[in-house]
Amino acid sequence: MAAVASEKLLGWSLELGQISYERVLGWQHGLVKMREHGLARDTILTVEHHPVVTVGKDGHRENFDGLDEEPYFVERGGDVTYHGPGQLVAYFIFNLTRRGRDIHLFMDGIQDGIIKALKEIGITATRGDEHTGVWVKDKKIASIGVAVKRWITFHGAAINLNTKLSDFKKINPCGLDAAVMTSAQKILGKKVNLKTFSHVLIEKYAQVFDTDFTPVSLEALAETLESQAGGYEI
């Protein structure tokens, strides 16, 4: 008897444009609850943030002592990082129970999707040997930090496309010297279209995670939530 081909998983993708970190963090928390209760599919959010510094649960005070104001302290792994204009951030609300409960494999997948997308714009990148993230030779172009709650993931990856690298100088990003950070714009000598790159990134994640990600709007998702599961905020 011929083997039955396994069907691809189904997911959602949301492009959010430029929105504050605090607002998207709240949406992530809402989606985590939804995913846990089977009211949402595995979802990738792509967003560009207003300038903000965040500190993960492995943060060290000496790495952000130079800041003029307190950063956001959040649940993700890792140390301190910066988000701002020109940087594409991808958040993953995934149920790892459906994916073998393998966090390391999931982290590898996040990095591999970025590497494949960067290749499409002419940048050869690799996973870091010593430090998590995506690297171009000895420079870091993307940072990774996730959280997992009852096998539902959130937080994700920040990819420096047109990021103003001087904005990293008040911190030691991921505990490293700010000079280690690079961007696609610096490497290529020209700006990268974030929206176009976001589409390419989702395509690569569809391959890496063997999932069909259907684009949805925040408004449509919120309407579905209100009718099916009142009480979740999105």
DSSP code per residue over 181-217: B--HHHHHSS---HHHHHHHHHHHHHHHTTEEEEE--
Integer CA distances (angstroms), 170 to 55, 65, 186, in order: 13, 8, 20
For the chain, the 3-state helix, strand and coil shares in percent, each to the nearest 5, are 35, 30, 35
Q: Are 8 and 205 in contact (CB under 8 A)?
A: no
Q: Which of 174, 194, 206, 234 is catalytic?
A: 174
Q: Are 10 and 212 in contact (CB under 8 A)?
A: yes
- Of residues 45, 61, 53, the one with CA closest to residue 21: 53
178 catalytically annotated: no
Q: Are 110 and 103 in contact (CB under 8 A)?
A: no
Active site residues: 174
